[in-house]
Amino acid sequence: MKFPIVVLVGVALLGPSPALAHHTGPTGIGGNGGGLTVQGPETIEAGKGAVGFQLTYLRTKQRSATELEDLAALDIHAHDTDYIATAVIGAAYGVSDRLTLIAELPYLRRAGLREGEALPVSGVNDLGNISSLGDASILAKYRLVGSDISGAALIGGIKLPTGSTDRMSRVGELLETEHQPGSGSWDYYLGGAAGTEVGWVSIDASLLYQFSTSGAQATRLGDRLQGGVALSHRFGPAEHHHDHAGGADNEEHAHQSWDAFAEATVEWEGRQKVAGVVEEATGGTAIWMTAGSRLNAASGYSVTVAAGVPIWQDIRPSHADNRYRFTLSLAKAF
């Protein structure tokens, strides 16, 4: 398999993005899938690694004060934000040619968080800006099968409760867990990735499911699922590999190249529970289309820019619909 250049993603697989409950999921650093949130099956060569940084800006549709008040009157804790920005740092290491370990730590900022209030004090509560470290993720990707043009991998991992769960609103009230940078829960990931080349196009597909557990304030955020398919094409010289005696060494000659990619992803989040009670107005589903480009330098650095829009979404009223998101990532393979 070709040596991967790190691609950091915003949302998540399952954040992609912070699209629904606004808690991030793993980005899959260390994969070289043709898309952004879609992971490929490649693993890092034994003894090699990668580090990177990703910044994602998510803009949601703004709801009026009247809309928020009307939802509050229906006993729906609806909220709104100006934007959500997520910065992720991560590192990946090739334990063996087939096994890659990945660690990621996000920093989240929610600007202009607002929530409707019902009678007797009808109005909109300005909760302020929320910024802090989020929950770290540790992933393992194991390549099951693979060749120079196709492969498949199994992905598993865990989310650690490293994020803050004690952030207060502008007026000094403890924010609900869904608004906190961290969930306070230990969650688990399971999924897979596959890819192949068809002519001049690389096709990658991945699926990742997050099993949520109970966390802060007796809240169990909804399970999350993200899957998608990416198409990409690499412009630049082909990579060359030279196998030496016994196949012990694999020398690779790197050249500068750049990738153009497009992907379709579906993001689903289940309803959350608070003290064992299901909140029917939470969760939802969105289908995103994302396009972008990635420059791969011969020195091992890569730069990725991408933009995505939802082409269909059914977000329950607790959360606002999505408008668009932009992602920038920088990475270095070594």
What span, in angstroms and rounded, lies between the C-alpha atoms of 56 and 261?
17
Residue 106 CB contacts under 8 Å (≥ 6 apart), including other chains: 24, 86, 87, 88, 133, 134, 135, 136, 163
Whether 26 has a pLDDT exceeding 90, the answer reads: no
pLDDT at 332: 94
Furthest C-alpha separation in the chain? 81
Residue indicated by tokens 């809309």 = 67
pLDDT for 4 equals: 41
pLDDT tens track for 110-132: 999 999 887 666 688 899 999 99
The number of folded domains in the chain is 1
Instruction: Give a yes or no: residue 76 inside a domain.
Output: yes
User: Integer distance in angstroms from the first to the last C-alpha of the chain?
Assistant: 16
- Quick one: residue 14, left, alpha or beta (phi over 0 = left, psi -120 to 50 = alpha)? left
Can you give the pLDDT at residue 36? 86
- Give 126-172 pLDDT, tens digit per residue: 999 999 999 999 999 999 988 878 999 999 999 999 999 999 999 89
Is 27 within a domain?
A: no
- Contact in structure between 231 and 34 (CB atoms under 8 Å): yes
**Is the per-residue pLDDT at 63 higher than 90?**
yes
* Whether residue 31 has pLDDT greater than 60: no
Contact criterion met (CB below 8 Å) for 222 and 270: yes
Q: Residue 7 above 70 pLDDT? A: no
The percent of residues in the chain predicted with pLDDT above 70, rounded, is: 83
Residue 284 has pLDDT above 90, yes or no: yes
What pLDDT is attached to residue 147? 83
Is the pLDDT at 8 greater than 90, yes or no? no
In a domain, 43, yes or no: no
Give the CATH number for residue 94. Answer: 2.40.128.130
Rounded-to-integer distance, Cα 246 and Cα 9, Å: 37
pLDDT tens-digit readout, 293-312 = 999 999 989 999 999 999 99
**Between residues 248 and 320, which one has the greater pLDDT?**
320
Alpha helices in the chain (DSSP H): 65-73
Range of the domain at 125: 49-333
Q: How confident is the model at residue 12 (pLDDT cuts 50, 70, 90)?
A: very low
At residue 3 the predicted structure's pLDDT band, cuts being 50, 70 and 90, is very low
Mean pLDDT over each residue of the chain, to the nearest integer: 86
Contacts of 118 (CB under 8 A, 6+ apart): 69, 72, 73, 75
Contacts of 328 (CB under 8 A, 6+ apart): 54, 55, 303, 304, 305
Residue 299 falls inside a structural domain: yes
More confident residue, 181 or 253: 181
- Which has the closest alpha carbon to 263: 14, 39, 102? 39
Confidence category of residue 315, pLDDT binned at 50, 70, 90: very high
Residue 15 included in any domain: no
